[in-house]
Chains A and B, each alone.
Chain A
Amino acid sequence: MATKLKHLWFGCAGPSIQWVTVALQTVESKNLQGIALEPYPDIVARIDLATGPILQQWHDLDRQLVQFWTSHSIRPKVTYDTWGRKGEMRDHVPRLLPELTRSGAVDLFMG
């Protein structure tokens, strides 16, 4: 696979996030320097209402990102944009990525 890969960016339009976890599991590059995640504003409302499976997908991603933090010292960046809608992504991150938030290993940016 791509052994020179340095930067990864994922734009998430839908609440389902499993594809990001699967993609991250295939990364073999030792040169990886950054992982960025940008959930689109609309999905915040859907995540809020999401029941088990979606939340579980986010927790799986959380574990995957923690592995990158512990093994490669890569701090994921989460960019969010409220677009004037209710419920900011910032408020949901501790619930969606709990382990990463507890470790203080996630950077939040307003897009």
Chain B
Amino acid sequence: MEFTLWGLTPWEYKTRRLEAGACSILTQTTMPFPPEILDLIVDHLHDQPTALRACCLVSKSWVPRSRIHLFAHIELTDTSFKRWMKTFPDPLNSPAHCTRTLSIYDHKLVAVAGPAVAHRICAFPFHNVVRLAIDSRSSRSGGDRISLVPFHGLSPAIRSLHLVLSHTRPSEIFGLMRSFPLLEDFNFWDFDRRSWVDRWTPASTSPRLTGSLELRSVVRGIGPITRQLLDLPNGLNFTKIALWWVKGAGDFKSITDLVSGCSGTLETLEVSDSYPGEFSLVLVPD
């Protein structure tokens, strides 16, 4: 007569015990994979925010790696900034340090958060940002616009700066550029109708500017910004220059000056002339 235990043969009993043991190992907190492998798994999901959010719920240990991807690209608009402030009331505990690309759209931000919005944004530790974009193209004619001064030195790692401005002084623009020593790419869309009255005082140093330059000026042409770029103490070392909506002899002289200024490095030149009149009517606020 065969020995049984709770109605199971010894072989069946042993097999069930082994299965139960394996299940408990998988469901307990013991990690079946080393952290490096888990990081690779999470990295593989870098472009799937839904999956990354689910990863954050799996285990506390999965949260930091998931946040690196979830908050790599941040766009601050009126609604997203309100949500950000509500979710992360304490800047130091926020995932701002995970952000690589920070885009700030000023259209409604100032209306929501007041003129001091820049100070509130910069209270967060965005010190790993590599690309900074500020779109302050506004229909407002003065006062309530975002100030660039608080963004000075926002992140020492910034290599790319994209500015879309309608009411900003050149001293603010060049002060901001100068505060990023590793800056390579400069992209400036100028929507201002007024002439530049204040003159930027050249500093003793400026970034090397070894990447790409893109200039678009709807009304006043690229002349004013070009002249001030050429005044930078370390010169221009761009490998690519793209100039849009150029018009008139003044702009074409600026192209020649820019090409001469980058004569030792320039590999690609893109130039587009102005669509007569109509761009200005559509894109420039009154």
Using a CB–CB cutoff of 8 Å, the interface residues on chain A facing chain B are 1-14, 19, 22-23, 26, 31, 38, 40, 42
Contact = CB atoms under 8 A, between A and B. Distances in A.
A4 B265 contact: yes
Contact of A7 (B263, B268, B274, B276): B268
21 contacts: A1-B259, A2-B263, A2-B266, A3-B263, A4-B266, A5-B268, A7-B267, A7-B269, A8-B268, A8-B269, A8-B270, A10-B270, A11-B272, A11-B273, A12-B273, A13-B272, A14-B274, A19-B252, A19-B273, A26-B256, A38-B272
Nearest to B244: A11
A2 B273 contact: no
A5 B255 contact: no
Nearest to B262: A2
A5 B245 CA distance: 22
Contacts of B255: 23
Q: Is the interface of A mostly helix, strand, loop or mixed?
A: loop
A81 B272 CA distance: 15
B274 A13 contact: yes
B275 A14 contact: yes
A10 B271 contact: yes
B30 to A, nearest CB: 56
Nearest to A15: B276
Contact of B273 (A4, A6, A7, A13): A13
Question: In this complex, which of B270, B272, B273 has the most chain A Cβ atoms within 10 angstroms of its Cβ?
Answer: B273
A75 B269 CA distance: 17
A2 B275 contact: no
B250 interface: no
A23 B271 contact: yes
B264 interface: yes
A9 B269 contact: yes
Contacts of B274: 13-14
B80 interface: no
Contacts of B262: 2
A38 B276 CA distance: 16
B260 interface: yes
